[in-house]
Structure 1
Amino acid sequence: MLYSNILALGAATLAAAAPVAENTQDYAFNVTNFVFGCTTGCYWYLDVSVEGEGPHHPAVNTPVHCEGGLDEDTDYVQCGNVSDTQAIYAYIVKDTNELNLQYEVQYPEETAVYRYYGQQTVYAATSDQADLQEPNFKVLETETTGVA
């Protein structure tokens, strides 16, 4: 009896910590004023908002500003202040020029955190592929995780 109670409690704990999938097909990061270039170092900046409303995915209509450097920022940097429970993060992978975006939404009353991710290759204005880069573009959210 005690063994089955412990087993049930362990299963419930694992289920609570498991990632929760949410349909991201209507969610996107809206990137504006994107600038990325390299001279003595590689630096980027952008403004970003979040499109799409869902059960745990409020839209962010007012863009927040984000900036970083490829040598200094090898992981997500926080972009501006959205709210006490919402944050947007970004960074560019130096070796691949992949822009990574993350939108985090916390629900303290549920002790839950949801994270939405999107990636897109970007091109430096100082590279031979500079004409491929637009200053304004959308990055679809392709992955979501949630832990309650």
Structure 2
Amino acid sequence: MRYELFTARDLAGEPPRHPSEFDRLLKTALAIRPGTFLIGEAQWLNGEAFGYFRYLWDEPATQLAIIFVGGEGCHTVLRREPMLSSRMFIWQHFTRLTPSEGLEAIPLSHPVWAGVDPDDITFADRYAAHGNFRRQAVCRL
């Protein structure tokens, strides 16, 4: 994970060899330049990964925001980590779009959908996406 954060922050030089050097470098970088980590599929992270994010966030000098995004079960997984979940500022639950919300959102999601007839969007949803925005976004007419 340290290497991924090093790469994501586009830090200069070679990645450090030892965890303590990595930690010092990441904390310094996060103190100098604020950052936001967007962690997708957070329900698949283990306790060690959550602990490391908490460790970076708890450093008083760092200027860090962490957004955990996940699918089914994410809330349950995050709640199992009390030292992390007690630091959560906002818990946000997203629900499935209604068909009319989908008809409004899909044309805005990608230029290929801009200007597409709503009946064609409904057809693509019915026969390919089945109400899943991610699947709808990658459907090509």
Place the TM-score, normalised by the shorter chain, in its bin: under 0.3
Normalised to the residue count of structure 2, the TM-score between the two structures is 0.23
Larger proportion of strand: 1
Higher relative contact order (CA 8 A, sep 6+): 1
Larger radius of gyration: 2
